[in-house]
Amino acid sequence: ETGVTQTPRHLVMGMTNKKSLKCEQHLGHNAMYWYKQSAKKPLELMFVYNFKEQTENNSVPSRFSPECPNSSHLFLHLHTLQPEDSALYLCASSQDWGERETQYFGPGTRLLVL
Amino acid sequence: QKEVEQNSGPLSVPEGAIASLNCTYSDRGSQSFFWYRQYSGKSPELIMFIYSNGDKEDGRFTAQLNKASQYVSLLIRDSQPSDSATYLCAVKSRNTGRRALTFGSGTRLQVQP
């Protein structure tokens, strides 16, 4: 596998379920990100991890719980979600090259909360 | 005021024409600027980035940056129907503690055959 991979690609869950999204980057990058993309809204940053340490949490509700066990893997644990949480969840990674730092996205997980 | 503003479109151009996509940003301390292309149902794909004033060309794409006017644009020459997508402008802060990008809501481009 190359680049940034995400699993599952599609997920349907009820409001009482617990599920996890997985992201893996094969680019040797040191930062990873979770973004949420809802219909007709800009990409919203959720979390940033830099060398496995969380450096940003963009006021995300606690029903979303990130985990970064190492620089290559990132998880988003989901529990008691609401229908308005249905969206495309995108993982990205980057390497710190200053002004040249560029983020590369995974294919995303399309989440539907019933 | 939104941090990164783009006209939502759709911007419709005939095949072979030049498509011009525009983006303005509010943070004067912004350091780098990115254009991503996103096809419907897919994830954003990087087209190019620019961090110095002026033009940067890559194939049919040219990014233009004017930091004084807080304006960045993307020109697509010889537009093709396959260029039909949403184009996202993203901005990176000079704040070294903040590595995330701030995205605009995107401009939908339609290239008519």
Name the residue type at position B49.
F
Cα separation, A65 vs A19, in Å, equals 11
Of A40, A45, A102, the CB nearest to B100: A45
B42 CB within 8 Å of a chain A CB: yes
Residue of A45, A55, A99 with shortest CB distance to B51: A99
Determine which of A5-19, A80-94, B93-107 has the lowest per-residue pLDDT on average.
Answer: B93-107
Closest Cα of chain A to B58: distance in Å? 16
Dist. CA A30–CA A48, nearest whole Å: 11
Q: Do B92 and A42 touch (CB under 8 A)?
A: no
Q: What percent of chain B has pLDDT over 90?
A: 81
Buried/exposed code over A27-65 (b: 16+ C-beta within 10 A; e: otherwise): eebbbbbbbbbeeeebbbbbbbbbebeeebeeebeeebe
Q: Could you say which DSSP state residue A84 is in?
A: G
When CB atoms are compared, the residue of B43, B92, B97 closest to A101 is B92
**Most B-contacting residue of A103, A104, A111 (CB-CB within 10 A), to test interface:** A103
Distance CA A35, CA A19 (A): 17
| Mean pLDDT confidence for B11-20 | 97
Question: Which is it for strands B45-50 and B30-38: parallel, antiparallel or unpaired?
Answer: antiparallel
pLDDT class for A100, splitting at 50, 70, 90? confident
Task: Choose the weakest-confidence range: A7-11, A95-99, B74-78, B106-110.
Answer: A95-99
Q: pLDDT tens digit string along A10-66?
A: 999 998 889 999 999 999 999 999 999 998 788 999 999 988 788 888 889 999 999
- The pLDDT of residue A52 is 78
d(CA A93, CA B13): 33
B77 touches chain A (CB under 8 A): no
Q: Write the DSSP symbol of residue B33.
A: E
Q: Tell me, what's the pLDDT at B66?
A: 95
B50: amino acid identity, one letter: I
Q: Are A108 and A7 within 8 A, CB to CB? A: no
Task: Give the model confidence (pLDDT) of A70-83 as tens digits.
Answer: 999 999 999 999 99
pLDDT classification of B1: cutoffs 50, 70, 90:
low
Question: Which of A27, A30, A101 is the mutation pick for testing B, counting most B CBs within 10 A?
Answer: A101
For residue B97, the model assigns a pLDDT of: 67
A107 and B43 within 8 Å at the Cβ level: the answer is yes
